Amino acid sequence: MAKKHQRTDEPGNVINNVILAGIPDREFRLLRPHLQHVTFSVGKNLQGAGNGIDSSFFINSGLVSLVIGTKSGKSVEVGIAGYEGMTGVALTAGIKRTTHWAVTEAGGDGFKVKAAALEKALDSAPELLKLANRFAAIQAMQVAQTAACNRLHGVAQRMARWLLMTDDRVREKTLFVTHDFLSMMLGTDRTSVTAAAKSLQDRGVIAYSRGKLRILKRSQLEKSACECYTAIQQFNRELGLET
């Protein structure tokens, strides 16, 4: 069987995003003129809490964290999006504001679409709406499971779950993350993150030095994680993630 031609935007950038790759040709042609290819480094803010959603980003590579912040300055990650999804998914329901930040966790690239262009395309793109709504529904389950995990499980288990979810979406095997960044993602203090990382490293599960982290034994990392990862992982195939 002949291999299906891989889609690109108008300048020729290859599309790996599951949603953009999965919609019918007719619907893709509606969006293609509006796709703006962008690259982003770690820590780039794609969407601000409380602000109007002016654009959506279809993630092509890398990873985006959904982060909730408080007035005290504390923050915690409540969800993620990789090449299986998008930011600004609330636009598909006509909602133009959000309570969370969308911050790049791992550098990569994506396709930016202005909110007005996306909303107009959705009027004539039922499969795009279906895939976006499916992603939104599964992401909501992920957010709920993550909230329970942050409340009920220890830091080492949460770190293992976070690393596995990241590994499912990021093809680069070396992550560039600091203790401060991990403490923000896990909603805990730096000392607890250091202890959790040391425990995993002492058992040969990860290698972590000077902000560079690499998973050495994924099977052991899965055993170190709480049941929340298994609960979330069952939806990987639904989202088109490689397993």
98-150 confidence digits (pLDDT tens): 878 888 988 899 999 999 999 999 999 999 999 999 999 988 888 888 888 88
Residue ending a domain, choose from 149, 168, 191: 149
Whether pTM > 0.85 for this model: the answer is yes
Residue ending a domain, choose from 119, 149, 179: 149
CATH number, domain containing residue 166: 1.10.10.10
Q: Which two tokens stand for residue 134?
A: 């499916």
- What is the domain range of residue 26? 18-149
Residues 129 and 72 in one domain: yes
What DSSP state is assigned to residue 60?
E
Q: Compute the distance between CA of residue 63 and CA of residue 46 in angstroms, rounded to an integer.
A: 12
Query: What does residue 149 show for φ and ψ, rounded to 5 degrees?
Result: -60, -45
Local structure of 96: helix, strand or coil: coil
Local structure of 78: helix, strand or coil: strand
For residue 203, the model assigns a pLDDT of 94
Residues 142 and 163 in one domain: no
Indicate the pLDDT class of residue 47, thresholds 50, 70 and 90.
confident
For residue 178, the model assigns a pLDDT of 84
CB neighbours of residue 124 within 10 Å:
11
Residues 127 and 186 in one domain: no
For residue 36, the model assigns a pLDDT of 98
